[in-house]
């Protein structure tokens, strides 16, 4: 996992506070977050041999962040910058099932951090990246290409350089808000155009409680290669997946969990249908409780999928 890791301070209220008010929290947790950070937690709990390369600052928030992730058994490589460390205050309004996030950004990568990539990527099968830091993501894609490491990219809501990263990643996972921002259309009508503009094997667009849609391309058995794709005019296969049937309590970080679980399943060699189902169930289970408490282990995931009438996902090991 390469990219953003942060610490989230979660506060549960009945409703979002009014201006100049003082409101007592109904519940509170401190958890590791960020695409790379929470994604690493999700992959590790499923049983992955998980590494994290991320930046942090030098204050108390950095101490909280590093201790939370290292306690999960994740092999962390931290590059420290002498500045306030990234963290977020997340206000969850229980009555409305909505959230408000106030955040301080992570330190941006320099040559000290990108120089860590060759050693960090030794023995890695699949790397999850985010689009937060252009320098880091670009350098990571370069090094992964040199080493033949499969990449999974989270687009986030989109930055000026995101399209360049999408064009180079093997698997792309985007929230629908990125698709709407980029195309002005919902995912169902835009996914073919987005897929045609990329070079990815799989493009998946998450739609929260509505599941998501996907298109597949290169590197899948029986699927067209980039060279013959243009002549055929569209993706070899497209479809959608359903969200798992749970009651959401805290959706903050469900997307991060989806990405980490998908990356774990990809490293295990699971089929696309299995990868999407594992990711969807992991994200839904995470959202069923406050914080990271319900990000599942493999046994918990299998029990939930059995109860929902879905098969097990045992397979060979691999590293993320």
pLDDT-derived band of residue 99, with 50, 70 and 90 as boundaries?
confident
| Closest to 190 measured CA to CA, from 168, 170, 212 | 212
| Closest to 9 measured CA to CA, from 89, 75, 78 | 89
| Residue range 121-173, pLDDT digits in tens | 999 999 999 999 999 999 999 999 999 999 999 999 889 999 999 999 999 99
Mean pLDDT, the chain, as a whole number?
A: 88
**Do residues 151 and 127 make contact, with C-beta atoms less than 8 angstroms apart?**
yes
Give the separation between CA 287 and CA 316, rounded to whole angstroms. Answer: 28
Mean pLDDT of 230-246: 69
Considering the entire predicted model, what is its pTM? 0.88
Give the separation between CA 30 and CA 61, rounded to whole angstroms. Answer: 11
Q: Domain 6-15+28-304: give its CATH superfamily.
A: Ribokinase (3.40.1190.20)
**What radius of gyration do the chain's Cα atoms show?**
19
**What is the DSSP code (8-state) at residue 120?**
H
Orientation angle between helical segments 187-196 and 176-183, nearest 10 degrees: 70
Cβ neighbour number for residue 105 with a 10 Å cutoff: 13
pLDDT-derived band of residue 231, with 50, 70 and 90 as boundaries?
very low
Q: For the chain, which residues make up each domain, given as ranges?
A: 6-15+28-304
What are the two backbone dihedrals, phi and then psi, of residue 216, each rounded to the nearest 5 degrees? -120, 150
């Amino acid at each position: 996992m390469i990219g953003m890791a942060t610490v989230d301070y979660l506060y549960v209220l009945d409703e979002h506070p009014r201006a100049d008010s003082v409101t007592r929290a109904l519940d509170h947790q401190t958890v590791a977050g960020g695409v790379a950070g929470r994604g690493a937690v999700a992959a590790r709990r499923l049983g992955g041999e998980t590494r994290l390369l991320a930046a942090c600052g030098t204050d108390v928030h950095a101490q909280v962040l590093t201790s939370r992730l290292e306690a999960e058994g994740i092999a962390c490589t931290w590059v420290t910058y002498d500045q306030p460390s990234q963290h977020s205050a997340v206000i969850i309004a229980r009555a409305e099932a909505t959230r408000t996030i106030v955040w301080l950004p992570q330190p941006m990568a320099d040559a000290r951090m990108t120089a860590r990539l060759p050693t960090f990527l030794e023995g890695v099968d699949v790397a999850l990246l985010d689009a937060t830091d252009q320098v880091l993501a670009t350098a990571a894609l370069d090094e992964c290409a040199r080493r033949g490491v499969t990449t999974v990219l989270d687009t986030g809501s989109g930055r000026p350089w995101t399209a360049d990263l999408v064009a180079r990643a093997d698997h792309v996972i985007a929230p629908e808000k990125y698709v709407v921002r980029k195309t002005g259309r919902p995912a169902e009508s835009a996914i073919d155009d987005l897929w045609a503009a990329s070079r990815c094997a799989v493009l998946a667009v998450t739609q929260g409680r509505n599941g998501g849609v996907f298109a597949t391309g290169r590197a899948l058995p029986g699927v067209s290669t980039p060279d013959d794709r243009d002549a055929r005019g569209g993706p070899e296969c497209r479809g959608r997946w359903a969200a798992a049937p749970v009651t959401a309590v805290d959706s903050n970080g469900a997307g991060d969990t989806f990405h980490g679980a998908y990356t774990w399943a990809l490293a295990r060699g699971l089929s696309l249908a299995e990868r999407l189902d594992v990711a969807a169930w992991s994200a839904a289970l995470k959202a069923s409780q406050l914080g990271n408490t319900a990000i599942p282990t493999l046994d918990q995931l299998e029990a939930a999928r059995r109860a929902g009438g879905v098969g097990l996902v045992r397979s060979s090991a691999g590293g993320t």
